[in-house]
């Protein structure tokens, strides 16, 4: 099969499109024919080697942990899944990934793919949807009537966070630049701060939120400013780095985990028309080095799905 792989850590030019052995389904695994895989900022961070204490890969490594595809082989001990089933998964980030024609996936991580969207587009859901869901409802325990600030709502995680928070009955303030404002309004954001026009602390001066969810790579000074935006006893969560200790608020750096049951719940919401999957670009897998390059220079158009 063809796969996009890298043989050493480095810049985006370590990614090469080449022949690779087609995976076989081990015990507890299935093999998927990849319909689509989406790019995530962590894919690029793993490629640089900066994350190797947490995500050490074996070379050559096939990147991309978000996948949508069709089962072509079912391994020993797998029940409930058959060849031909269309599924989505958030795969273990350091294992051989979905930037390939086929990928082996642990069956316990699979959820049936949504039927309401193209199968390839469903690859834009798993890890980012789960990040939003776990941050809001496991870590922040967001409730009806509470207020939430989603900093970085224009990104993939932020889009899901705004939709889920709105549907949970929270009042949502979202930071976004011009390109995302209309979309976030349609997702139910009550207030939008154009972060390109007005710095956040200035735009929300005097306000405090029950929950602040940070999805922007903030400096330590910027993260400290976010603490001031949290109501007494409220929660500051960051998906991008450490948060300061402050006795006044609950603060945590959160990490997503793969969870098939939660992913199935997200899929149900997509099929019910409650949760929109935003795909900014659909590109061939051979574009992956360019996608990494564009992400590094801030030129990536938004959530990008790649098809082998
Ligand atoms: N810890 C975890 O488990 C975990 C899981 C998933 C993601 N993450 C991290 O969370 C971050 C967001 O992930 P993602 O997948 O949503 O990324 P993404 O889709 O690449 O989001 C990038 C978006 O952030 C917005 N943005 C950039 N600078 C901003 C600023 N200064 N203020 C407000 N918004 C800004 C931009 O949207 P607009 O141009 O529309 O404003 C941009 O499109 C990434 O750093 C990712 O690595 C962590």
Say what the pLDDT of residue 60 is.
Answer: 98
> pLDDT tens-digit profile of 75-100?
999 999 999 999 999 999 999 999 99
Q: How far is the CA of 217 from the centre of ligand 1 (A)?
A: 7
Residue nearest to atom 40 of ligand 1 (CA): 154
DSSP-derived secondary structure for 243-282? ----TTSEEEE------HHHHHHHHHHHHTTSSPPP-SEE
d(CA 25, CA 75): 5
Q: How far is the CA of 157 from the centre of ligand 1 (A)?
A: 7
**Burial status of residue 113 (CB atoms within 10 A of its CB: 0-12, 13-18, 19 or more):** buried
Say what the pLDDT of residue 107 is.
Answer: 98
The candidate with the shortest Cα–Cα distance to 127, out of 57, 50, 40, is 40
Say what the pLDDT of residue 281 is.
Answer: 98
Pocket test for ligand 1, best of 55, 139, 155 (most atoms within 8 A of CB): 155
Question: Is the sign of the CA dihedral 276, 282, 288, 290 positive or negative?
Answer: negative
Q: Is the pTM of this model over 0.75?
A: yes
In this prediction, the residues of the chain whose per-residue pLDDT falls under 70 are none
Q: Is the CB of 176 under 6 A from ligand 1?
A: yes
Pocket test for ligand 1, best of 54, 55, 157 (most atoms within 8 A of CB): 157
Say what the pLDDT of residue 25 is.
Answer: 98
């Amino acid at each position: 099969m063809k796969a996009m792989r890298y043989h050493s850590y480095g810049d985006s030019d370590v990614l090469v499109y080449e022949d690779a052995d087609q995976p076989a389904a081990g015990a507890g695994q299935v093999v998927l024919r990849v319909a689509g895989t989406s790019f995530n900022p962590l894919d690029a961070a793993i490629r640089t080697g900066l994350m190797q204490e947490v995500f050490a890969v074996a070379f050559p490594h096939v990147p991309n942990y978000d996948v949508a595809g069709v089962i072509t082989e079912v391994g020993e001990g797998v029940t409930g899944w058959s060849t031909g089933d269309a599924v989505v998964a958030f795969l273990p980030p350091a294992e051989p990934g979905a930037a390939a024609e086929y990928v082996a996936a642990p069956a316990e991580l699979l959820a049936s793919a949504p039927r309401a969207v193209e199968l390839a587009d469903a690859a834009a859901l798993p890890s980012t949807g789960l990040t939003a869901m776990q941050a809001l409802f496991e870590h922040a325990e967001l409730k009806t009537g509470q207020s939430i600030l989603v900093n970085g709502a224009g990104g993939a995680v932020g889009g899901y966070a705004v939709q889920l928070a709105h549907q949970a009955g929270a009042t949502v303030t979202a930071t976004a630049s011009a390109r995302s404002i209309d979309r976030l309004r349609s997702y139910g954001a009550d207030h939008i701060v154009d972060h390109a026009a007005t710095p956040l602390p200035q735009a929300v001066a005097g306000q405090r939120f029950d929950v602040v969810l940070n999805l922007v790579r903030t400096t330590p000074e910027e993260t400290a400013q976010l603490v001031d935006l949290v109501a007494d006893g409220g929660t500051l969560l960051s998906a991008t780095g450490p948060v300061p200790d402050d006795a006044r608020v609950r603060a945590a750096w959160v990490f997503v985990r793969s969870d098939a049951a939660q992913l199935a719940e997200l899929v149900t919401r997509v099929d019910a028309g409650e949760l929109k999957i935003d795909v900014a670009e659909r590109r061939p897998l051979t574009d992956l080095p360019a996608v990494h390059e564009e992400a590094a220079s801030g030129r990536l158009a938004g959530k990008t799905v790649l098809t082998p």
